[in-house]
């Protein structure tokens, strides 16, 4: 699980308090919660505690705990302390794996070990490659808003004041976090081997400083936290002072291009769950891009024929669709079968996730007139009620948190969309293919742009002309590649992983392959690492299907 400030460790300054509610990581959630989930969650706590030593601000999902009092430690040597905590957790988890017999729990221990290894590797590369610049206003705002929330029991809201006093250095033995962040940057800024942050990162942080300061004050006012005036005044002065320093010392030397070393970009991909060389990713994405264009070209005259219009180029069809939303509906395929209905349910009930389109994808959906955002993005639940519901269905913390990455979630959403494609009207098929073309473009352009193989202007031309992305969203899309390197390709890569597993399984089972059963099996596994999911299909699903009669439906082509 990627931590926004994963190389920073924490100083534990205060004694653990008494809270109004027990920690749900260790407390029994329900009589229906499987025993293996309870046991697995106890093992997850080993790694969670190690990670909390770096980023306690990210802990409120698990309910009130002593971590809420602490803040990110930016004192000298914090990366080494963080890695030492992770290494200790890794050793303990390895010991548990040596003796654990339950296959579900063993899977989860492997997930936890994989996460610990990834965090250690990420910390090492970031320390080696990047100047340690921190968007402190955002960090503080998130640290406070994670406590001052309707989902936190009211009796624990006062903890926010202790955390704020910790941020400002008002507590004995603490220093302002702005001073620590500035000191760590100044220590390293003369090192020519370290990359500074990008201009867009710093500029966006500076532009958001007032919003974050005002947001902190509003939260304290909303939840009526007493005796907070001194700390609120201090944090406002400190955050504005930090912004002034960053504007004078960080922004002038910030990178104006998105090019980063190949190993750093490969690490960014790895954090998202993409475990292939960036050059191979570009090759696969280019093949998908051209193949999707071909499918769209084949579909274009069918849509035109349905409306009595002669068109041959998909770009022209998309422009016509934008002017006439009903274009193409006259040639709708047959009604959805049980397979389609099963996939729709899989989207709606996807284990461990709730739907919630990201801002950019929601804007795309509005532009294309199709509410695809609901099936495009799956976000981690943010409330205890959702966590409890997941646990009752047999989804452990290891799977819902540590196996979570954008390849898993975004890949499943694109796969589910492809399963529904044959049952949509032709115009919606074209729109769905346009989204797939966008995802192929992302997987191709993100690495090319970040590694310097293409200019921003060339990438913009592809998005504008070939993908037919609205002009208003082209800049937003390109900024995304620079702001979050490696994230955009996750949709397509995850989709390819599932499709490859699906093809392998279909070839293995022949006419005994059942699409509905296969999709249900994937959904019921919850989140597993790709290798674990493939193993489950090969060792559990395939043997269970070999004895079934060979009269199940075969794959459905896009267009008859």
For residue 438 the two structure tokens come to: 């966008």
Q: Is the pLDDT of residue 232 over 50?
A: yes
The pLDDT value given to residue 438: 95
Q: Check if the beta carbon of residue 112 is closer than 8 Å to that of residue 398.
A: yes
Taking phi first (over 0 means left), then psi (-120 to 50 degrees means alpha), and beta for anything else, what does residue 336 get?
Answer: beta
The pLDDT value given to residue 375: 31
Q: Is the pLDDT of residue 89 over 80?
A: yes
Range 154-158 contact pairs with CB under 8 angstroms and sequence separation of 24 or more = 155/19, 155/20, 155/21, 156/19, 156/20, 156/21, 156/64, 156/68, 157/223, 157/225, 158/225, 158/226
Q: Is the pLDDT of residue 12 over 60?
A: no
Q: Which residues, in sequence order, are CB contacts of 523 under 8 Å at separation 6+?
A: 346, 349, 350, 351
Smallest CA-to-CA distance from 197 within 209, 187, 208, 185 is with 185
Query: How far is residue 167's CA from residue 144's CA, in Å, rounded to a whole number?
Result: 10
Given pLDDT bands bounded at 50, 70 and 90, which one contains residue 325?
Answer: low
The pLDDT value given to residue 27: 42
Query: How far is residue 362's CA from residue 381's CA, in Å, rounded to a whole number?
Result: 19
How many CA atoms lie less than 13 Å away from 509 in the CB half-sphere? 32
Given pLDDT bands bounded at 50, 70 and 90, which one contains residue 145?
Answer: very high
Rounded to the nearest integer, the mean pLDDT of the chain is 80
Q: Check if the beta carbon of residue 19 is closer than 8 Å to that of residue 33.
A: no
Range 273-280 contact pairs with CB under 8 angstroms and sequence separation of 24 or more = 273/405, 273/406, 273/407, 273/408, 273/490, 273/493, 273/494, 273/530, 274/407, 274/486, 274/489, 274/490, 274/493, 276/493, 278/447, 278/451, 279/447
* Strand segments (E) across 354-451: 354-355, 378-379
Residues 245-263 have pLDDT tens digits of 999 999 999 988 778 888 8
Smallest CA-to-CA distance from 485 within 329, 322, 272 is with 272
Reduced to 3 DSSP states, what percent helix, strand and coil does the chain have, rounded to the nearest 5?
A: 65, 0, 30
Please state, for a pLDDT cut of 70, what percent of the chain lies above it. 78
Q: Is the pLDDT of residue 551 over 90?
A: no
For residue 377 the two structure tokens come to: 């993005």
Q: Is the pLDDT of residue 130 over 80?
A: yes
Residue-by-residue DSSP string for 301-339 = HHHHHHTT-----HHHHHHHHHH-TTTTGGGPPPPP-HH
Query: How far is residue 542's CA from residue 133's CA, in Å, rounded to a whole number?
Result: 50
Q: Is the pLDDT of residue 367 over 60?
A: no
Q: Is the pLDDT of residue 327 over 60?
A: no
The pLDDT value given to residue 260: 86
Give mean pLDDT, residues 387-408: 68
Q: Check if the beta carbon of residue 154 is closer than 8 Å to that of residue 164.
A: no
CA angle, 469 then 345 then 428, to 5° = 30
> How many residues make up the chain in this entry?
560
Give mean pLDDT, residues 92-99: 97
For residue 284 the two structure tokens come to: 């696969």
Q: Check if the beta carbon of residue 181 is closer than 8 Å to that of residue 140.
A: no
Top mean pLDDT of 24-38, 383-397, 505-519 is at 505-519
Query: How far is residue 135's CA from residue 155's CA, in Å, rounded to a whole number?
Result: 30
Greater pLDDT, 65 or 133: 133
The pLDDT value given to residue 60: 47
Q: Check if the beta carbon of residue 25 is closer than 8 Å to that of residue 63.
A: yes
**b/e burial code for range 12-46 (CB count within 10 A of at least 16 → b):** eeeeeeebeeeebbeeebeeebbebbbbbbebbbb
Query: How far is residue 490's CA from residue 495's CA, in Å, rounded to a whole number?
Result: 8
Query: How far is residue 225's CA from residue 69's CA, in Å, rounded to a whole number?
Result: 15
Counts for the chain of helices (H) and strands (E), in that order: 25, 4
Given pLDDT bands bounded at 50, 70 and 90, which one contains residue 221?
Answer: very high
Tell me the pTM: 0.70
Query: How far is residue 52's CA from residue 123's CA, in Å, rounded to a whole number?
Result: 15
What does the domain layout of the chain look like in residue ranges? Answer: 1-129, 131-256, 278-492
The pLDDT value given to residue 492: 93
Indicate the burial class of 89 (C-beta count within 10 angstroms; 0-12, 13-18, 19 or more). Answer: buried
For residue 71 the two structure tokens come to: 């803040």
The pLDDT value given to residue 8: 25
Q: Is the pLDDT of residue 496 over 60?
A: yes
Torsion from C-alpha of 505, 508, 513, 519, nearest 10 degrees? -10
Q: Is the pLDDT of residue 286 over 90?
A: yes
21-30, 33-42, 221-230 — which is least confidently predicted?
A: 21-30
């Amino acid at each position: 699980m990627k931590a926004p400030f994963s190389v920073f460790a924490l100083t534990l300054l205060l004694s653990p308090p008494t809270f109004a509610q027990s920690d749900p990581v260790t407390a029994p959630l329900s009589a229906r919660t499987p025993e293996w989930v309870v046991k697995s969650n106890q093992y997850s706590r080993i790694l969670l505690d190690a990670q909390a030593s770096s980023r306690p601000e990210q802990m409120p999902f698990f309910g009130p705990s002593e971590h809420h009092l602490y803040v990110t430690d930016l004192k000298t040597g914090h990366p080494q302390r963080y890695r030492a905590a992770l290494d200790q957790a890794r050793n303990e988890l390895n010991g548990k794996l040596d003796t654990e017999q339950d296959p579900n729990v063993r899977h989860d221990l492997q997930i936890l070990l994989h996460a610990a290894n990834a965090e250690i590797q990420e910390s090492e590369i970031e320390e080696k490659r990047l100047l340690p610049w921190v968007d402190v206003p955002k960090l503080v705002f998130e640290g406070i808003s994670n406590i001052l929330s309707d989902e936190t029991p009211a009796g624990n809201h006062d903890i926010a004041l202790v955390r704020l006093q910790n941020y400002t250095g008002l507590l004995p033995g603490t220093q302002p976090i702005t001073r620590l962040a500035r000191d760590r940057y100044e220590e390293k800024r003369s090192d020519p081997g370290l990359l500074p942050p990008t201009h867009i990162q710093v500029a966006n942080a500076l532009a958001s400083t007032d919003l974050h300061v005002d947001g902190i004050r509003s939260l304290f006012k909303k939840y009526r936290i007493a005796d907070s005036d001194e700390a609120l005044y201090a944090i406002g002065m400190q955050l504005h002072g930090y912004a002034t320093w960053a504007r004078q010392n960080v922004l002038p030397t910030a990178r104006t291009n998105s090019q980063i070393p190949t190993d750093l970009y490969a690490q960014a991909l790895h954090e998202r769950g993409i475990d292939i060389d960036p050059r191979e990713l570009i090759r696969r994405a280019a093949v998908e891009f051209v193949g999707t264009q071909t499918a769209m070209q084949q579909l274009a005259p069918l849509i035109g024929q349905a409306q009595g219009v002669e068109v041959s180029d998909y770009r022209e069809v998309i422009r016509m669709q934008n002017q006439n939303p009903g274009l193409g509906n006259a040639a709708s395929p047959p009604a959805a079968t049980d397979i389609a209905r099963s996939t729709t349910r899989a989207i709606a009930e996807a284990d461990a996730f709730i739907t919630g389109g990201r801002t950019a994808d929601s804007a795309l959906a509005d532009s294309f007139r199709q509410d695809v955002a609901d099936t495009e993005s799956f976000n981690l639940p943010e409330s205890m009620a959702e966590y409890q519901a997941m646990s009752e269905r047999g989804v452990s913390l290891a799977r819902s948190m540590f196996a979570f990455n954008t390849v898993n979630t975004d890949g499943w959403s694109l796969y589910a969309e492809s399963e529904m494609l044959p049952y949509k009207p032709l115009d919606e098929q074209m729109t769905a293919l346009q989204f797939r073309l966008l995802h192929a473009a992302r997987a191709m352009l993100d690495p090319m742009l970040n590694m310097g193989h293409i200019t921003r202007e060339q990438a913009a031309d592809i998005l504008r002309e070939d993908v037919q992305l609205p002009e208003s969203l082209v800049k937003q899309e390109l900024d995304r590649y620079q702001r979050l390197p490696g994230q955009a390709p996750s949709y397509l890569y995850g989709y390819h992983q599932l499709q490859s597993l699906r093809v392998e399984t279909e070839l293995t089972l022949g006419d005994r392959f059942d699409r509905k059963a296969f999709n249900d099996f994937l959904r019921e596994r919850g989140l597993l690492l790709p290798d674990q999911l493939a193993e489950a299909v090969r060792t559990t699903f395939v043997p269970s299907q070999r004895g079934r009669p060979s009269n199940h439906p075969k794959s459905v082509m896009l267009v008859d």
